[in-house]
Structure 1
Amino acid sequence: MKIAFTFLILLFVGNIYGQSNNFKVTLDAGHGDHDFGAVYSGRIEKNIALAIVLKVGRILESYPKVEVIYTRKTDVFIDLVERANIANRADSNIFVSIHCNANKNTAADGTETYVMGMNKIASNLEAAKKENAVITLEKDYKKKYEGFDPNSPETMIGMTLMQEEYLENSISLASKVEDAFALLGKKLRHGGVKQAPFMVLHKAYMPRVLVETGFISNPAEGDLLNSEQGQDDIAKAIANAIIGYKNEYFGDGGTETFEEKPSQILNENPVKTNETPGNN
């Protein structure tokens, strides 16, 4: 009897340890339901973001000790703060929000991976401003976000005054995503790591990035994002970057030494276009 009881205790403790030892990734598909995101020539951001997230999730779930949490797996609307809270409640190791970019200048192209922070570059701020404007679709958003106004530069600057505890690791994760995109060659031009005050990143208390997988407004790139093969390639790149980050910081074999790569430096020189980025 005593032996059986001891065995059950050990089994229970082992299960708890096994669960706590998982590398937890929260994947966030931008937009959803009545929030379509960017829409160009039948290409809909909310659908593309969800398709890529589900593909990334399936790849990650094939790895041992990797647990995937989704902010949404269907076409539903999730408040920005709730997306971050889902990751916080799960005690996730990283948070990855996936989107498509857009621009009135349809020649604009390339990926961008953002970390949380303030940057004076107008295009970065405009990207965050448009993304943060999603909160106006939420009920009682002024009360929920304590008067936050997505159109006010003052409130956006105020978001970044608190200490950025996870910036270094966020940049590392973002650089791995951009390096993985670079391996896709001519399929996607990688635009590098950038910094902007995204509300969805601000409220997640862990290393976190927002990935703009390409410009849905660019006819060629938009068709790539909307295709099965394009989504597969992008999903594999993002998943490889996440596993690379896990292996570096959480791998059993200790920390690997990586050569510094160009993408590890925040990109202060955005691609010159005639317009600032459109709806993300």
Structure 2
Amino acid sequence: MQLQQTHKFKTKANFFFVFLCIFFFSMHSSSIFSQKKYVIVIDAGHGGKDPGNLGNGYKEKNIALKVALNVGKKLAKKKDIKVIYTRNKDVFIELWKRGDIANHAKADLFVSIHCDSHNTNAYGAGTFVLGLRGNKKNLEIAKRENASILKEDNYADRYVGFDSNSAESVIGLSLLQEENLDRSLAIASLIQNNFAFKLKREDRKVKQDNFQVLRETIMPSVLVELGFLTNKKEGRFLNSKKGQAQMAGSIVDAIENYISNLKLNTVVDTVTKQSVVDAIEYKIQIASGKNKLATKSYNFKGLKDIERVKVSAFYKYYYGGTSNYEEIKKSLKKAKTKGYRSAFIVAFKNGDKISVSDAVKMQ
């Protein structure tokens, strides 16, 4: 009887000890991540010698800057947010430099702000994330924004082979930001929903296209088209203090919600990592497109054991598969020597895609 009571006491004590460990670890995790400074880079499109579009006599560069400063001023009031501007005055900043600023700051989010134009009376706000290709209308927007490259002093050397008027150059096959696509889509959706439902702006949806400024960043990134300066009514709205404050407020609200979700997910993931050993697998994504190719080596420059996975309307092609990070780096090197210059590492946890950095930390 005494032995049984002793056993029960030890069992209860062990359970209580484990409970306390989880409780204090959770509290400690919450404390750590509540203290983290989230770096947000706000990019006002165009500037200096590049005015952007001049619909109805308004200058895109001026409106984009005023909204960007408005966004930054509101975000800077938050203790857990650090704001960095790619420009805070009327100066010309090369597209590559904008991304470089965000990359060096190890930013958590990059938001590029623009105004749209069209030869019709089009109107409405839209938000873009990096993607392989869009429809013809999206392509024209990308071409206009990417044309800023031509105003850079050394653009021919920095963007070898890039032609802002070429569909092939604009669309490309660069998938280096695929890892951040889910988070980019998340913040883009929050921004777009605020435009459409809170401000009742015409909803031009979240879309994907190949904006050079988004290609230069290595973190979740979005490009916002506030509206059309070529539409008289919308142009007046965007040029007004009220319009700029409302659009900025919608962006700020979305970013704050995005960060709150990041905090929650980070704490949950951290606790999970301490208590569960997950199966991690690395692969090399070498291509993605709408064409369904046979996974034969002759279709992939001699690479064998290619895996084809359908995601929505696209097919993704993976090479190599290992739980060893050092091995997958060797596979990446091999894929690039075969000509897949834009190939990159992806990671999966129990079959679900996660960031490579998270996978490495887990292991």
Alignment match of 1:28 (pick from 43, 67, 77): 43
Identity %: 43
1:86 aligns with 2:93: no
Judging changes above 3 Å, is the alpha-carbon distance between structure 1 residues 159 and 198 closer, same or farther for their aligned structure 2 residues? farther
Alignment match of 2:217 (pick from 204, 207, 231): 204
Greater CA drift, 20-29 or 95-104: 20-29
In structure 1, how many angstroms separate the alpha carbons of the residues matched to 2:99 and 2:134? 25
1:33 alignment partner AA: G
Judging changes above 3 Å, is the alpha-carbon distance between structure 1 residues 60 and 103 closer, same or farther for their aligned structure 2 residues? same
* Residue 183 (structure 1) shift: 3.2
Greater CA drift, 133-142 or 68-77: 133-142
**Residue in 2 aligned with 1:240?**
253
CA offset digits 1:132-191 (Å, max 9, x no partner)? 1110000120101122111122222325344611111100010000011123344x2121
**1:183 alignment partner, SS class:** helix
CA RMSD of aligned residues (A): 2.1
Judging changes above 3 Å, is the alpha-carbon distance between structure 1 residues 209 and 163 closer, same or farther for their aligned structure 2 residues? closer
- Verify the 8 A CA contact 2:56 2:235 in the aligned structure 1: no
**1:170 alignment partner, SS class:** helix
Radius of gyration: which is bigger? 2
**Residue in 1 aligned with 2:187?**
173
Say which structure is richer in strand: 2
Greater CA drift, 152-161 or 39-48: 152-161
**Residue in 2 aligned with 1:224?**
237
- Verify the 8 A CA contact 2:86 2:93 in the aligned structure 1: yes
In structure 2, how many angstroms separate the alpha carbons of the residues matched to 1:20 and 1:84? 26
**Residue in 2 aligned with 1:66?**
81
* Residue 18 (structure 1) shift: 9.6
Alignment match of 1:115 (pick from 122, 129, 148): 129
In structure 1, how many angstroms separate the alpha carbons of the residues matched to 2:152 and 2:219? 24
- Verify the 8 A CA contact 1:184 1:233 in the aligned structure 2: no
In structure 1, how many angstroms separate the alpha carbons of the residues matched to 2:208 and 2:117? 17
In structure 2, how many angstroms separate the alpha carbons of the residues matched to 1:81 and 1:20? 31
Q: What TM-score, normalized to structure 2? A: 0.62
Greater CA drift, 38-47 or 96-105: 38-47
Number of positions where the alignment pairs a residue of Structure 1 with one of Structure 2: 238
1:40 aligns with 2:91: no
Judging changes above 3 Å, is the alpha-carbon distance between structure 1 residues 156 and 34 closer, same or farther for their aligned structure 2 residues? same
1:50 alignment partner AA: L
1:96 aligns with 2:111: yes
* Residue 254 (structure 1) shift: 5.1
In structure 2, how many angstroms separate the alpha carbons of the residues matched to 1:134 and 1:163? 21
